Chain A
């Protein structure tokens, strides 16, 4: 009696899981298939599920519409800001994990608080400042602004990682006469590599996805891919296939990264409140 009942509940559970997967994945399926449609097929009513796919949209957006350039801009900005965040964040995280000093908790809170500040609060002052400094519409302006959310991520995750490294290692090295910097560089940093890797992936994802700073600070030359996708919406004849091809090009790399770091994504998003 018990066995069939259990089997039935397992079947129900299986169906439920398939429905959950379908809900999450279907928009991506529709995005990719729409990107393979010509404008005529994309504007077919009712929508076509079966059609002969074409790569024309990809060809057009990559080589005629500067989406290729904007993807390159995105890669440059996301890579540079991630490197800079790791470079600045790791020593700071080490200090927060290992050293004792006044105001440490406050400093740590301040780093974390940046998680909450909306880009729209910073965007206009930075728009004016960067114009005066002559760095508007450059990669540099975006790279610097992206530190406001990448640096807190790196500091949070790496502080946690450094704390988990046994203190005895430091003490042994200290007895040998190693400087703090040397202990950090040669002993702790190599052991903290998993944390550095995870925080790098998360920083990259967040920088890659950013729209508001990019839209306001980099209107032409340094335009990133999400901002480029937005410009397709302007005008009357909305090119659905091209928008979805651009979206696919933007989303695929970041989804691969997200799946690689899926275990840590929630921690990154919640700033470690839930482990």
Chain B
């Protein structure tokens, strides 16, 4: 049930919000698009000129850009499947009846990692993963493992980001899948449990179909967030050592803010935005099919 109203009323209710998002969202995007066709370096302002698609050609043939894209994709491929396996296991345990108090506590502690300021998550990694003073290496020592140089070695630094991403976002996946599990009609689940003793069969044939929307949501949102990922690697490694943890958003920040090459950063941003829009379209098609 909806009401028809006059244009004036509509404008009064929606106008301010639309205007605000046009000003802070669309205007900068158009500005970025315009600048992406220019040579525009903050340290060489006199040389500013229109260069057409030159920046795009440079970005698309730039190995540094593709390596950053590749690293971003690799991070996604390495961490998200683990997040889904761990998250699903945690969700299944929390979904079972009994031990209510423990489960409430576990659910509350799951909220902590994903609500933590992302910059602090990176700083925490610095402190805990330090080769000499870090508590993680101390614990590994108890297990007989030699101290690992997590932050200083390129391969280890990348792995450290993967592990830290898994720590922060597994709880999110767990809570999303837990919400998905609660959409399974209890009578169907109970009937299935009477039929078979195998939890695997129940999961595969009864719960999984109801989990598909949650899993798609996790995949799309984690992809979007991985593309955006900046705070944690920035505070943890600044993209280093070398460029071992320079993900796409970290690269754009370096080009724009530390090399002052705004035209190039703009072209990189626009390419990234195009990717993002494709993703957002997918997300919306999956979840909001029906016209509201």
Query: B-contacting residues of A (Cβ < 8 Å)?
Result: 10, 13-14, 16-18, 20-21, 23-25, 27-28, 30-31, 34, 42-47, 84, 87-89, 91-92, 94-96, 98-101, 104-105, 107-126, 128-129, 144-145, 147-148, 151, 155, 167, 170, 180-181, 184, 205, 208-209, 211-212, 215-216, 226-227, 229-230, 233, 238, 240, 243-244, 247, 250-251, 254-255, 257-259, 262, 265-266, 269-270, 273-275
Contacts and interface: CB of A to CB of B under 8 A. Distances in A.
Contacts of A244: 123-124, 127
B88 interface: no
30 contacts: A13-B93, A13-B96, A21-B105, A24-B112, A27-B128, A30-B127, A30-B135, A42-B133, A46-B138, A88-B16, A91-B14, A111-B17, A118-B227, A118-B272, A119-B230, A123-B253, A124-B266, A125-B35, A126-B24, A144-B24, A155-B17, A180-B3, A209-B118, A226-B231, A227-B119, A250-B119, A258-B115, A269-B221, A270-B176, A274-B217
Contact of A17 (B105, B115, B132, B262): B105
Contacts of B114: 265, 269
B283 interface: yes
B123 A247 contact: yes
Contact of A254 (B10, B117, B167, B172): B117
B12 A91 contact: yes
Interface in B156-204: 167, 171-172, 175-176, 179-180
B249 A259 contact: no
Contact of B120 (A17, A95, A226): A226
Contacts, number: 303
Interface string B232-274: 0011001000000000010011001100001001100110110
A269 B172 contact: yes
A34 B265 CA distance: 38
Interface string B103-129: 101111111111111111001101110
B70 interface: no
B67 interface: no
Contacts of B256: 120, 123-124
Interface residues of B, number: 100
B133 A43 contact: yes
A13 B13 contact: no
A274 B213 contact: yes
Nearest to A34: B127
B112 A211 contact: no
Contact of B99 (A10, A42, A98): A10
